[in-house]
Amino acid sequence: MAALRYAGLDDTDSEDELPLGWEQRTTKDGWVYYANHTEEKTQWEHPKTGKRKRIAGDLPYGWEQETDENGQVYFVDHINKRTTYLDPRLAFTVDDNPTKPTNRQRYDGSTTAMEILQGRDFTGRVVVVTGANSGIGFETAKSFALHGAHVILACRNMSRANEAVSRILGEWHKAKVEAMTLDLALLRSVQHFAQAFKAKNVSLHVLVCNAAAFALPWSLTKDGLETTFQVNHLGHFYLVQLLQDVLCRSAPARVVVVSSESHRFTDINDSAGKLDFSRLSPSKNDYWAMLAYNRSKLCNILFSNELHRRLSPRGVTSNAVHPGNMLYSSLHRNWWVYTLLFTLARPFTKSMPTPLRLNCRIRSRKLT
């Protein structure tokens, strides 16, 4: 158990717990075998369950397999700078002869982004995350970067964006991560970002539209539009349109729009059932911060659905994500009332590393 604890794998269930004197090992090609130190023998079957097992998936990102001078395989964790002879994938073994599949849900509300991407290799994939210097955006960017993706943090504040890049590199110095300027409240900035990105001549496999404004006092952007509407929806809409050709050339690719369950509590149609454009970018007299946020999130949903309908035949899928009820983040920072509300609710909400289940279904190495 000491070796298991060292490798971070001591959380085992009772059925697979080995009897005293037994040790679990792996072959170079991923098969699990069991050594009995008392009787000095080995066997393929688990001494308690009789099952044969094999390793599932690749090594966690940051781990490498090496061979010592005696020909014995050992494993190096470059992120946490530790070495062990215990294969870290032993926590994710599967039966050699699987029985009837279980209906138990694999992921739940406490699952982290790092757990979702466990064993996935995104080397060669390019990911853009808007608003990635903090909160959900940062956790998303970090998780992709630590699994090999080339991640671009698209942020308005470059000082904070560069700090976020440094934090990711501090966890793994080989991470491919950079920051680029993107101000969604200025359509010219969106255009400049798209031009700068295209100048890199790289693919775009995942575009996460995450940046958002919440509880803002009424104001107009330099483009003459209500700020919440432009930042949360129109800026991302324009960004996707400008990068659409790159996404299609990079297929299979995916757009992920971070929306909210609050889209259910509003409408953008008038009494006759027709789209009311004045509700999207209301005047100061008709403005209510929470309602503006809800409407922008409804626009996110409608946009994502239509984008998927149009681009999925070309290999680009789009998914809208509700990250979690009363998710604690810095989104509330613009008004002290919401700050107080979120602070009181914090013990009952998800922590920032946990919401990144990203129901966008980015769970396959091939993004299928």
Catalytic residues, which ones? 293
Crossing angle for the helix pair 289-311 and 235-249, to the nearest 10 degrees: 20
Q: How many CB atoms lie within 10 A of CB 270?
A: 12
Cα separation, 44 vs 9, whole angstroms: 20
Q: Reduced to 3 states, what is the DSSP secondary structure of residue 321?
A: strand
Q: Which structure tokens are listed for 4? A: 């298991």
How far is C-alpha 206 from the geometric centre of its chain's CA atoms?
10
Residue 115, H or E segment: helix 113-116
Residue 199 CB burial class (10 angstroms; 0-12, 13-18, ≥19): exposed
Close Cβ partners of 242 (under 8 Å, ≥ 6 residues apart): 190, 191, 194
State the burial class of residue 84 (Cβ atoms within 10 Å of its Cβ: 0-12, 13-18, 19+).
middle
